[in-house]
Amino acid sequence: MVADKPKKRRIGRAIWITIASLIAVAAIGTPWVQSLPPFGGQLSGERLARAQANPHHRDGAFVNPLPPAPYTLSYVRDLLVGQFGGDEVREPPAPLPLVRVTPASLQSPAAGLRAFWIGHASAYVEIDGLRLLIDPVFSDHASPFAVGPKRFHPPPIALAELPRIDAVLITHDHYDHLDMRTVQHLAQHGTLFLVPLGIGAHLERWGVAPERFRELEWNQEHALGGVRIVSTPSRHYSGRRLGGGNQTLWTSWAVLGARHRFYVSGDTGYSDHFSKIGAQWGPFDLAFMKIGAYGPGAPWLDIHMSAEDAVRAAKEVGAKRVLPVHWATFNLAFHAWDEPIRRTLAAARALQLDVLTPRIGETVDADLPFASSAWWETVR
């Protein structure tokens, strides 16, 4: 036994040396990795000064008017248990039904309002002859590199097949909403980007010319082809790198045309901002409402509302019809992949809200009836 003690000490020292080496590599390597283009840029100069002058910017970061619940040790424990011990079916067990969108079908934009869901939070919208994209993500992974959450399905149309897009609306800078590869492709084809304050730093880092984007604060708007595009409040957070979060603002959008208008919730927790938006900018012919990636626990629900809160919020903004988004594309939460839509429809029946359930790529026209189907029930 005595002879074994030096050996045990050597093994112990080797373990600690290994741990210390890994920590050193991480400390040295992390700043270099986070300097790579996918992580975006950092605010400086006039952009930083503008952010600091914003009424929702305090102590070096943007804040929500209604702060989310704080993290606790028990909440972090529950997250870890949920991440590694959950038994939910978080990914579809079979391919999802898609409707292929052909380039020919998009040659002439609608004079009214029509749209199709690309997947997750991404949607294509035509309003008053304009072509818009909401939070377009065409990459395979919702991460800075080709690892991490991977798409359950391909987009219904390839990025290269899209017609010229007049404008892109970005709600915030997380990877499942702001995709560098998609941005760079669209920027090469003359698209205008409407983004929350601060995200211009990311776009500039990716080679987008300053004249090709507008950074808006809440209740500011930009007119495009007779359509008013208004940045409206939301309750969320931002960040693309470790540490120093909430450097860029987050937003929802109210898009107001001559005869139609639509609303984009973005990622958000529930608060009174919905009723205020409805009173000022509603009612809306169509609302793209985030219904998935909620919970567990108040800190998460306060920035990613539940399906039931999404239905309540849709009623408060004055949505005539709802197109549910932020589900069925990436594994980002501790619930079954189809749970959000099932809970949404149950809550909508109680409040008599018209929820549309198009297949990915299936066109919805605000002026025409739509035959919804429970297509997720066939994915078995």
**Contact assessment for residue 63 and residue 323, using Cβ atoms and an 8 Å cutoff:** no
Report CA Rg, the chain: 22
**pLDDT confidence of 85, banded at 50, 70, 90?**
confident
- Give the separation between CA 223 and CA 230, rounded to whole angstroms: 9
Average pLDDT, the chain: 92
- Give the separation between CA 24 and CA 31, rounded to whole angstroms: 12
Q: Above 90 in pLDDT, residue 77?
A: no
Is the peptide bond preceding residue 296 cis, with omega within 30 degrees of 0? yes
Residue 202's closest CA among 170, 233, 229? 170
Lowest mean pLDDT among 58-72, 75-89, 101-115, 148-162: 75-89
Please, which residues bridge with residue 324 across strands?
A: 289
**What confidence tens digit (pLDDT) does each residue in 264-296 have?**
999 999 999 999 999 999 999 999 999 999 988
- Side chain identity, residue 361: G
pLDDT at 7: 46
Give the count of alpha carbons within 13 A of 358, CB side only.
26
Structure tokens at 308: 């039931």
pLDDT: which is higher, 32 or 380:
380
pLDDT at 20: 45
- Give the separation between CA 357 and CA 19, rounded to whole angstroms: 50
pTM attached to this predicted model: 0.92
**What confidence tens digit (pLDDT) does each residue in 6-24 have?**
544 444 444 444 344 444 4
pLDDT at 76: 86
pLDDT at 82: 82
Q: Above 60 in pLDDT, residue 143?
A: yes
- Give the separation between CA 317 and CA 233, rounded to whole angstroms: 12
- Give the separation between CA 70 and CA 82, rounded to whole angstroms: 18
Portion of the chain with pLDDT greater than 70, in percent: 92
Distance separating the N- and C-terminal Cα atoms of the chain? 59
- Give the separation between CA 81 and CA 75, rounded to whole angstroms: 10
The size of the chain, in residues, is 380
Lowest mean pLDDT among 156-170, 186-200, 240-254, 363-377: 240-254
- Give the separation between CA 206 and CA 181, rounded to whole angstroms: 9
Q: Above 50 in pLDDT, residue 193?
A: yes
Side-by-side strand order, sheet with 227-232: 221-224, 227-232, 252-256, 261-264, 286-290, 321-325, 354-355
**Contact assessment for residue 123 and residue 115, using Cβ atoms and an 8 Å cutoff:** yes
Q: Above 70 in pLDDT, residue 350?
A: yes
- Give the separation between CA 221 and CA 300, rounded to whole angstroms: 29
Structure tokens at 158: 């390839």
